[in-house]
């Protein structure tokens, strides 16, 4: 019986996702994007009012109405897509930036265009990834108060579909062996000291990546008296990966973008 399963597994088609498909892909995350040409001032105000986390905000630049979308706060609830009258859709790509500000996109409502940042596009191949990680990158994942949604996606990075270790990236049990801390959840009051000690135990030059809406901004728990704040309110953060939760592809993109920027 067991040999039948092994034989069937060996004969099954290859399902390992390619690097080209993986990098910067946010499909499955439910995060929104804007069709700028369909955006109007009325829709902008409506979706901003519908967003209970204030991830969407209407502003004004040089007398023109603008709309900003903060992916660090967004949980992908879909309210803006329902209220957007076709001006919002599920995003295929979401920014995973080294700075907190890089998670915010802005659109000029009157011109129907995005106000672009001067950021180099991430183009990755397996060889470049190996160069970035120096053939090995050890990550310690830290749960500061997560609901475990982010942990489920992080765990998927090691499965046969994504196979994180093909890039030379490994998870380790101790911060003393880590090059990077991947911190999830809002940092609760009870976990704040533990997170600080984990950071102090990690050898320099250490990198810290805040994961998910909760890690980036506190998410839906930001106002709770049990929460000390977002990750950067407790320890220094080098990069941010948005999402509720971020997909494995978004996680890997954020990790590699961090390495590329700090190279």
Judge if 233 and 138 occupy the same domain.
yes
Predicted pLDDT of residue 117? 63
DSSP per-residue string spanning 142-163: EESS--SHHHHHHHHTTSTTT-
Stretch 65-85: mean pLDDT: 94
Report CA-CA distances (Å) from 48 to 35, 58, 92, 120. 15, 7, 21, 29
Instruction: Identify whether 121 is part of a domain.
Output: no
Instruction: Identify whether 19 is part of a domain.
Output: no
Residue 159 or 11, more confident: 159
Domain boundary among 88, 115, 142: 115
Judge if 80 and 108 occupy the same domain.
yes
Total domain count for the chain? 2
Residue 85 or 133, more confident: 85
Judge if 165 and 238 occupy the same domain.
yes
Stretch 164-187: mean pLDDT: 90
Check if the beta carbon of residue 31 is closer than 8 Å to that of residue 242.
yes
Question: For 182-238, how does the pLDDT look when each residue is reduced to its tens digit (9 = 90+)?
Answer: 999 999 999 999 999 999 999 988 899 999 999 999 999 999 999 999 999 999 999
Residue 102 or 86, more confident: 86
Domain boundary among 58, 80, 115: 115
Write out the residue range of the structural domain in which residue 109 sits.
32-115
Judge if 135 and 111 occupy the same domain.
no
Domain boundary among 73, 92, 115: 115
Of the chain, the percentage scoring pLDDT greater than 70 comes to 83
Instruction: Identify whether 17 is part of a domain.
Output: no
Determine if the pTM surpasses 0.85: no
Judge if 55 and 75 occupy the same domain.
yes
Judge if 106 and 64 occupy the same domain.
yes
Instruction: Identify whether 16 is part of a domain.
Output: no
Predicted pLDDT of residue 27? 81
**Arithmetic mean of pLDDT over the chain:** 86
Domain CATH code at residue 131: 3.40.50.12280
């Amino acid at each position: 019986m067991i040999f039948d399963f092994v034989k069937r597994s060996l004969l099954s088609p290859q399902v390992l996702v390619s690097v080209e498909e993986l990098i910067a892909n946010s499909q499955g995350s439910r995060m929104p994007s804007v069709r700028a040409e369909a955006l109007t001032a009325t829709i902008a105000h409506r979706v901003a009012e519908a967003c209970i986390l204030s991830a969407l905000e209407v502003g004004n630049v040089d007398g023109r109405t603008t709309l900003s979308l903060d992916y660090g706060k967004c949980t992908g609830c879909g309210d803006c897509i329902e209220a957007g009258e076709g001006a919002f859709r599920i995003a295929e790509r979401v920014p995973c930036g080294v700075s907190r500000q890089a998670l915010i996109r802005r659109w000029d409502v009157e011109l129907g265009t995005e106000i672009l940042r001067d950021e180099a596009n991430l183009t990755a191949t397996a060889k470049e990834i190996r160069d970035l990680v120096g053939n090995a990158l050890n990550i310690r994942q830290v749960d500061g108060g997560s609901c475990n949604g982010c942990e489920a996606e992080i765990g998927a990075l090691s499965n046969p579909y994504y196979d994180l270790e093909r890039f030379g990236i490994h998870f380790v049990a101790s911060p003393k062996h880590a090059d990077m801390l991947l911190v999830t959840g809002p940092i609760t009051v009870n976990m704040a000291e533990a997170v600080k000690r984990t950071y102090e135990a990690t050898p320099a030059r250490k990198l810290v990546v805040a994961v998910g809406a909760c890690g980036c901004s506190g998410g839906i728990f930001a106002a709770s008296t049990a929460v000390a704040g977002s990750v950067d309110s407790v320890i220094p953060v080098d990069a941010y990966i948005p999402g509720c939760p971020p997909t494995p592809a978004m996680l890997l993109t954020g990790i590699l973008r961090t390495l590329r920027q700090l190279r």
